[in-house]
Structure 1
Amino acid sequence: MRKRLDYAWRLFSTGLSFSVFGLGGVILWFLVFPLLHIVPGNRREKMLRARKCVHYSFYFFIGLMHRLGIMTYEINGLEKLNKPGQLVIANHPTLIDIVFLISRIPAASCIVKAKLWHNPFTRGPIVNAGYISNGDPVQMIDDCVADLQQGGTLIIFPEGTRSVPGRPYKFQRGAAAIALKANGLVTPVTLTCVPSTLTKAEKWYQIPKRPFHLAMHVGDALALDEFLAIEPKTVAVRRFNRYLQEYFSQQRVRYEQFGE
């Protein structure tokens, strides 16, 4: 009976959390961002204020899920993040990965699906925070590089979508192309979620039998010199993309299989 009550509570709390998330997006769009917009400052200053606002709202959301007993979490190597011009490359096991990352990186930008620009629950944060659309791949890469070169922090998932549990990674080349073109600080972040939940194959209400544990492992900055020396650049991008795929595959084995 106790297990059933616990499951029912976490199911209710999960639904409540996502309802709060959606409501928060609407409040940010119609109430908070208009107030921020009238505060003096140039376009980038206003955009950075909006990013911090999203950061605090995501920090609250992760805290809410934790306090409701839905999840636990840990962060290793946070001191390696929050550097100007930093490209954060991460794997993507769950629906809330970007929320978790932005909750710890106040000035972060990210790439979002073009269709989310028309979603009333997400449009406000996306537009005001200057997040980058994936609608035009060439323009996307240029926008990402420009943001990094202006000192911004960018989070990108090279898979392009959530991982499928048990299947090998298949990275798209966008992250590698951005990293080499920007030629800045590239930091890998490995995310693990045990037990697996909120994957691409699951609905939000298909919760695990116990609270899930989300862990963030921040790696050391990746050296780019070897790949920058390769010509033509298309070959360099392909080889660096393969390197990223192998790196994250090894990290997944390390953290998931051995639980380190």
Structure 2
Amino acid sequence: ATEAWAAVARAAEGVELDARDRAEIADHEAMDRGPEGVALFERAAELYLEAGDPGEALAARGRAAYIRALTGEVEPALAAAGELYDRALALYAEGGTGVRQTASVLLSRARVLMRAVHGGAAVLGDAPEPERATSPDPGAAEAVVRHVREILTLVDGHTGDDVRMAARAAEAHAMLAELAELSGDLEQAVTLFRQATGAFVAAGLPWFTPEYDVRVAALAHRLGRSDETEEALRDALAHGGPYLEPVARAQLHLQLAEVTGG
């Protein structure tokens, strides 16, 4: 999708576009720019406001907050995401935006909270990496669980005809799975990761699942279930299809060979 929007941006050079089109181009370009995407998300938010879509403007700013969290700026990101959360719920209650935009803001906040669970370590850019927490932050973990359940309640009944809503629900299940794994409940983690992969596949987005299939394989291996480990690795290969990088595909085949003895 990112490549498609890049092609749209190139085709639109020199063409007069309305604010909505320019907002969507900036928004999608930001998704592929790492730390540099923050300014583009903010620009997209301004354009969404100009186009009369305040909910999508909040969603774009939520994505910017998540990028800040990935660069190690977790505290400012938490503050920004919390403010956006309050504004989005108020706007939704007033009928000023829809479920999709509201869910996007909530999901961005959940993503930021997950960075707090992991101690706020930077994973993007050149930001200095703070010391990792020796164990997950229990307060942040509880906040994520509450928040994810709120997301699932919000999108309930809206995922059948909107692939983006279905993807958000699937990611929410994956967050719960990760928290279960961190807490040591491996069985529950397997179940929830399976729910997440099933939801992505049902939404027609199988290429989102290999990461979670591999997590299932690792958990099944720790539980001593070799058949399930093999199945999950095969799922990762099948779901990733042509979208897997050659190195990732080779690694999966090597892991599968180790499991099967082939």
**Which has more helix, going by share of residues?**
2
Q: Which has the higher contact order (CA 8 A, sep 6+)?
A: 1
What's the TM-score, normalizing by structure 1?
A: 0.32
What's the TM-score, normalizing by structure 2?
A: 0.32
**Which has more strand, going by share of residues?**
1
